[in-house]
Structure 1
Amino acid sequence: MSRTRPRLFAAAAGTAAALLLTACGGSGTAAGGPWKPSKPIEYVAPANTGGGWDTLARSTARILEEDDLVDRPMRVVNKPGAGGAIGWAYVANHAKDPHKLFVTSPPILLVPMAGESDHSHRDFTPIARLMSEPLAYVVKNNSPIKDFGDLADRLKADPKKVSVAGGSGPGSLDHVGLAGAVQAAGADPSKVKYVPFDGGGEAITGLLGGHVDVAVAGASEAQGLSKSGDVRVLAVSSGERVKTLPDAPTLVESGVDYEFDVWRGVMGPAGLTDEQVAYYEKAFAEMVKQDSWKKERDRFGWTDAWMNSGEFGEFLNDQEKELGEILSSVGLKKK
């Protein structure tokens, strides 16, 4: 059985037009030097509080401000719904506005391919890829499901008896990470009863409330409740064990030949100028060098996965093809 491992912009403003735009509060370059934001930056987390997008947005906003890496406040705004599509649709409606950013991850590719969003990654400007982490497959601590092999056996025997929550919509991040693992374990992913929530935090809340039997979420979203003993991690999707979940085996250790890395990064609306992209790219590049970022990274078990704007754009195009193949193989790709 082969191992599946997904590996998972705009011209400079003319001087006269730029000065006019700046004078009018627009997005051009100021007369005294390179572009800087002229008002607070709206930083969208396309999910409810407590999930991976929200955690990354709030962590990075705080570091950027406290370490004086941005010239204006970063105001985190939660816009949940439709697996992230509500949040990025909001940003898409503010083309050329350099005071709008959003955190993103594989759903920006997966949700459109599943037919659940009218906007693809090509409708936005890549800023930077920041980090990655694995998925965690979790159950309540008293669940009769003992390990991932046990889960796979139950899904093979009667998939209708097992419900699995994910923090993204059908055909999106958690669903694909689940489907790929289930398929590698020999079960039929198209028959799994998948229940979508708006964020991994809500998926785990649904699990604790007894609404589902299993939840899939980012490892950082599961670690707190794992430490408290409320949930038990059946497996993580990384190639190696995660320091923040040291007792959780990998899927490979569980006999399932599958890995899935969840990257996360930052994008802006379409039509940003080169100088605007460069401003934010530099701020985030400096951020990942800060001790404050490294502490946050280690606290959540994230792995540095830096890419600049151009590299991130190429990566997104390549991963769209790879993830499209996975969606097709499990019958989830609609367009």
Structure 2
Amino acid sequence: MFRKFFGLLVCVLAFSSFIFVSAGDVEAETSVEKIHFLIPGGAGGGWDTTARTVGKVLQDTGLIEEASFENRSGGGGGVAINYLITTARRQKDTLMVNSTPIVVRSLTGVFPQSFRDLTPVASVIADYAALVVPVNSKFNSFKDIAESFKENPNSIKVAGGSVKGGMDHLVAAMAINAAGGDPLKLQYVPYDAGGKAMAGLLSGDTQMLSTGFGEAVNLAKQGEVKILAVTAPERLPEAPEVPTLKELGYNMEFANWRGFFGPPNLSQDKVDAYVSVFKKMYKTDMWDKMRKKYGWQNLFHPDKEFVAFLEKQEKEVGDMMRRLGFLQ
């Protein structure tokens, strides 16, 4: 009897030890101690600032032990994407930062890959678009712009800091379309950068500017421009007096998001671990301070929600690009 009991006890203990060790191995494998941030652009750009800010907050708040950074620019972001895919086996602790251009540039064939060739982990922030006029403009609402455009499309020229078919153009076209105007008749004037587009607006060369809210809000506070509307789902705390397009009756939202992608075939356990770390980051005072410093809005879509968000944006942007003749 004793031998049977002793034998059974040994088996139970051995099985328990196996479960404990296995669980420990899984925990060790899926915890996030360090993150190597792959940045598809050069130092000082939006991708670089986002990755380095997120990495600093995670490290300084003790959410991870180590953050490292690597800039691989070129090909409109395609060089970094290809690198992450082709070296996937060596990149188990790597996250690549990206944003809306990964959707636009894959549609236009700038690079052959899309977000589907990576592992979407989470969107983190957004810079919503703003539709802006000079402070002394006769237009006091986007409804005024829409009505003037429908009466005479030539009366409205829209400035933007991206090329034709780029984000600033697409945002203005989508807004005009939502208001019942013909986006093909929109006169979009591309400038080399957002600052030059703002100068074109203030000089009177154009009647409206399509730009990021973060760029517009400081000039609005200085009394140089009026923000007629934003493309956010609800009013933004930095400019609570500015309505959204939706509340004006136009069914249009747009977010220039920034988020993170892992290499292809990243395990769900690892994705969940990254998502948990980002959730904790949002609760820190340091993140709130840095977010406000750069004028970012929180936009958190974890893995599967992120994929659905990307698919929706891809369809909306693709539909408008086809209508404007930039895609077949």
Please indicate, yes or no, whether the TM-score normalized by the shorter chain is above 0.5.
Answer: yes
2: CA distance between counterparts of 1:191 and 1:166? 19
Match of 1:206 in 2: 197
Q: Give yes or no for contact 2:95–2:262 (8 Å, CA) kept in 1.
A: yes
User: What is the TM-score when the length of structure 2 is the normalising length?
Assistant: 0.71
The Cα RMSD (Å) is 3.8
Q: How far does residue 126 in structure 1 lie from its aligned partner after superposition?
A: 0.8
User: What is the TM-score when the length of structure 1 is the normalising length?
Assistant: 0.70
Alignment of 1:124 with 2:115, yes or no, is no
2: CA distance between counterparts of 1:47 and 1:215? 26
1: CA distance between counterparts of 2:221 and 2:45? 16
Alignment of 1:260 with 2:250, yes or no, is no
Q: In 2 relative to 1, CA 222–326 (structure 1 residues): closer, same or farther, beyond 3 Å? A: same
5 Å-filtered alignment, 1:95-134, equals 95=85, 96=88, 97-98=91-92, 100-132=94-126, 134=128
Q: In 2 relative to 1, CA 58–120 (structure 1 residues): closer, same or farther, beyond 3 Å? A: same
For 2:197, give the aligned amino acid: G
Q: Give yes or no for contact 2:214–2:295 (8 Å, CA) kept in 1.
A: yes
**2:76 aligned residue (67, 86, 91):** 86
Q: How many residues in Structure 1 have an aligned counterpart in Structure 2?
A: 295
Alignment of 1:67 with 2:58, yes or no, is no
Q: Give yes or no for contact 1:140–1:207 (8 Å, CA) kept in 2.
A: no
Cα deviations by residue, 1:260-299 (Å, 9 ceiling, x for unpaired): 1414321134354556545533322321232322344456
2: CA distance between counterparts of 1:100 and 1:145? 48
Instruction: Point out the structure with the larger helix share.
Output: 2
Q: How far does residue 90 in structure 1 lie from its aligned partner after superposition?
A: 2.1
2: CA distance between counterparts of 1:215 and 1:326? 19
Q: In 2 relative to 1, CA 191–49 (structure 1 residues): closer, same or farther, beyond 3 Å? A: farther
Match of 2:13 in 1: none
**2:228 aligned residue (226, 234, 252):** 234
Larger Rg: 2
The secondary structure found in structure 1 opposite 2:54 is helix
Which runs of 5 or more structure 2 residues have no equivalent in the other structure?
A: 1-24
Q: How far does residue 172 in structure 1 lie from its aligned partner after superposition?
A: 4.5
Which runs of 5 or more structure 1 residues have no equivalent in the other structure?
A: 1-29
Identity, in percent, stands at 32
The range that moved more, 33-42 or 100-109, is: 33-42
Q: Give yes or no for contact 1:281–1:308 (8 Å, CA) kept in 2.
A: yes
1: CA distance between counterparts of 2:184 and 2:220? 29
Q: Give yes or no for contact 2:124–2:301 (8 Å, CA) kept in 1.
A: yes
Match of 1:27 in 2: none
Q: Give yes or no for contact 2:153–2:185 (8 Å, CA) kept in 1.
A: no
User: Per chain length, whose mean CA-contact separation is higher, i.e. which structure has more relative contact order (CA < 8 Å, sep 6+)?
Assistant: 1
The range that moved more, 120-129 or 154-163, is: 154-163
Q: In 2 relative to 1, CA 90–300 (structure 1 residues): closer, same or farther, beyond 3 Å? A: closer
Q: Give yes or no for contact 1:106–1:172 (8 Å, CA) kept in 2.
A: no
1: CA distance between counterparts of 2:108 and 2:96? 21
Match of 1:15 in 2: none
Q: Give yes or no for contact 2:103–2:314 (8 Å, CA) kept in 1.
A: yes
